[in-house]
Structure 1
Amino acid sequence: MAGAITNSRYLVQAGWRDVPHLSEAVRLELEKETPPHQRKARMEGIPSLGAGAIYPIEEEVFVVDPFQIPHYWLRSYGLDVGWNRTAAIWGARDPDQDVVYLYSEHYRGQAEPSVHAAAIKARGDWIPGVIDPAANGRSQIDGQRLLANYINLGLHLISAENSVEAGIYDVFERLSTGRLKVFRTLTNWLAEYRIYRRDEKGKVVKANDHLMDATRYYVVSGIKRGIRRPVQAITTEPGARGAADPIAGY
């Protein structure tokens, strides 16, 4: 139990571990019944992410050390485009456990589509993806033109479903049930995650959320597009034999 005194108030911080009448067996049972993202708050009285956080889940629940992704896992990516920032997130799904791992990111602003396309293909030009159908706030027609542009540059893309609230729920459901993990090397993704929030009116704050949007596209529409690494890619891609980054595969 901890307390802090100010000129106007006294704050008491307490959790299950500070309750004397609970036995250790009861505490363990309560811990098992509590969602992972609520354990620190309920057990130790440590406040979790702010009330406006869209995904109020502690990073330690889903952040993992990078590892070599098996060839048979299903890979795809989500793409959010814009002049100030274009972002892509790659995921690999373990088909045996239905657990998805976000393992690579592209995060760059003020560059032409050809520059982004080259970076995306470097992760594996065989990997399919999904893109924002409205091209980050442009009209549907402009979005389709940009989609055609990226396809002409060699990307295997289709438009993603863009239901914001439903997509946020799908991402949250995977995070909170342990079916969405994130490599700790995705520093830009984690930076956005920490400030992804709603305003006082409950609306999503549309700032520095490009990888969050790309993740939503990936979870809603991209996971189902995932494919295994082709045999030819296993033997010929740099990622298969001594790549600069053998974990990410390029």
Structure 2
Amino acid sequence: MPPLNLGSLSSSEKLELLQLLEEKERRSRQNRLATYKPYRKQVEFHKSGAAYRERLFMAGNQLGKTLAGAAEAAMHLTGEYPEWWQGYRFSGPIVMLAGSESYELTRDGVQRLMIGPPMNPKDWGTGYVPKKAIVSTTKRSGVSGALDSVSVRHVSGGISTLLFKAYEQGRSKWQANTVNFVWFDEEPPPDVYFEGITRTNATGGLITVTFTPLKGMSEVVRRYTKPGDDPGAVDRNVTTMTIDDAEHYTPEERAKIIASYPAHEREARTKGIPALGSGRIFPVTEESIKVAPFEIPKHWVQIGGLDFGWDHPFAAVGCAWDRDADVFYVTKAYRARESTPVIHAAALKPWGAWLPWSWPHDGLQHDKGSGEQLAVQYRSQGLTMLPERATFDDGTNGVEAGVMDMLDRMMTGRWKVFSTCPEWFEEFLLYHRKDGQIVKEMDDLISASRYALMMKRFAKVKPSNTAWAFTDRKVV
């Protein structure tokens, strides 16, 4: 179609064209849902609703998590699902609860994206709920511009109800008879979260959570990422979106954004990885210590580290030490729970019968069943256990000293971990302090690494008659 020659139009035709363009713009602004084009990770999040009742969209700041939550909520309220939609579909009108930390934040986030600018009622209908679908609204007293509820016309002819809430008033304010859909924007307190689940039990409704995990490994985050043996975990899903998944940023913009955050918040704000704030023990980036696997040079020495466990996982690492450059490498990782020394030893012996193993003081404890020391049991299974428990050169074995040695090496480029050890990096990101004390949770591979570092003076060169091989790792 050739470009329009405005000079050939009469004044009345120009006026008519202007009115048509304004009407087109008005209709577009009042039906934002029709133009929603999600990124790949947002599509993944939406699609997961067809298979999971509880979903967490954990993403960095300004990457589109709340926008995705608002668009999906509007679809469920109106029944207007796009052709590409593969997520859950409600067959009729729903009752929905949605909110954030305070009524002000709910107004400025959830309400703004779903309804429109809070302080300009004339523009209500320019959010993801189309203007034509808004039947009525009720205001919340005491909070300027905040709504209490919205009645939304469903394509079936019925009416959906949207109720705005806030965490600050406690779990009781989230009580309702029964609801079909709950959307928590920003991380809710556990009691509020479980109240939301309770409200959907009768309907089998959906729970959706969207936030940047700045509160660290909280109870809600652990419910999704570290459920343990919880049988309900099969009905939960977490989608993580990083700054690299946000197509609206250029590489240069991404680099500037990443550099603008303090180191201990960078992973959370750009990758959606739970932050541990200033209490994080290793405030360095994963990229700064991660390296691609390579064949260990023949003259480097190697050593293994063990951390015994049953309820909490047994862990083992294989390590190599470049003595010339004084760089310590973690090359292999193994973690498993509720298994016997026979099982663990069988998994570790392929790493090499020659490999010396360092171990902690609890290796001197006697097994309640056999009466043998743990270290003796592993030695009898064919592992080359060092004769004494792990200590520094001076005979001490302080945890803080070992941790500080690891941190100093990380910050000076003398601690590296093979990228084929994802379980190790999982613990690295979660290792933190609370009230000044190291939290002894999810630290098994970290501890095994510390024991290996403490005993590096006993590391050995791999015999020349053995072949190099990567081994499979078991993760539980």
TM-score category (smaller protein): 0.7 to 0.9
RCO comparison, higher one (Cα < 8 Å, 6+): 1
Task: Detail structure 1 runs of 4+ shifted over 4 Å in the superposition.
Answer: none
- Summarize deviations over 1:13-58 as a string: whole Å, max 9, x none: xxxxxxxxxxxxxxxxxxxxxxxxxxx99x9331222201011111
Aligned to 2:278, the other structure's residue is in SS state coil
Aligned to 1:91, the other structure's residue is in SS state strand
Matched letter for residue 399 of structure 2? V
Distance 2:333 2:422 in 1: 9
Distance 1:205 1:246 in 2: 30
Matched letter for residue 160 of structure 1? A
Higher alpha-carbon Rg? 2
2:405 equivalent in structure 1: 170
2:345 equivalent in structure 1: 117
Unaligned ranges ≥5, structure 1: 9-39
Structure 1 residues 151-166: aligned runs within 5 Å: 151-158=379-386, 159-161=389-391, 162-166=397-401
Aligned match for 2:439, one of 205, 220, 225: 205
Distance 2:471 2:341 in 1: 26
1:17 equivalent in structure 2: none
- Summarize deviations over 1:211-234 as a string: whole Å, max 9, x none: 11111111112x11111111222x
1:47 equivalent in structure 2: 262
1:94 to partner: Cα distance: 1.3
1:246 to partner: Cα distance: 8.1
Q: TM-score, normalised by structure 1?
A: 0.73
Note the aligned Cα RMSD (angstroms). Answer: 2.8
Aligned match for 2:359, one of 111, 114, 131: 131
1:247 to partner: Cα distance: 11
1:150 to partner: Cα distance: 1.0
Aligned to 1:129, the other structure's residue is in SS state strand
Aligned match for 1:147, one of 368, 371, 375: 375
1:71 to partner: Cα distance: 1.8
Distance 1:94 1:117 in 2: 26
* Residue 228 (str. 1) matches residue 461 (str. 2): yes
Query: Contact between 1:66 and 1:247, CA under 8 Å: does it hold in 2?
Result: no
Query: Contact between 1:129 and 1:225, CA under 8 Å: does it hold in 2?
Result: no
Distance 1:153 1:180 in 2: 31
Distance 1:247 1:79 in 2: 17
1:120 to partner: Cα distance: 1.3
Query: Contact between 1:69 and 1:247, CA under 8 Å: does it hold in 2?
Result: no
2:415 equivalent in structure 1: 180
Aligned match for 1:83, one of 310, 313, 333: 310
Aligned match for 2:320, one of 43, 67, 92: 92
Distance 2:405 2:319 in 1: 15
Unaligned ranges ≥5, structure 2: 1-60, 63-101, 106-254, 265-276, 392-396
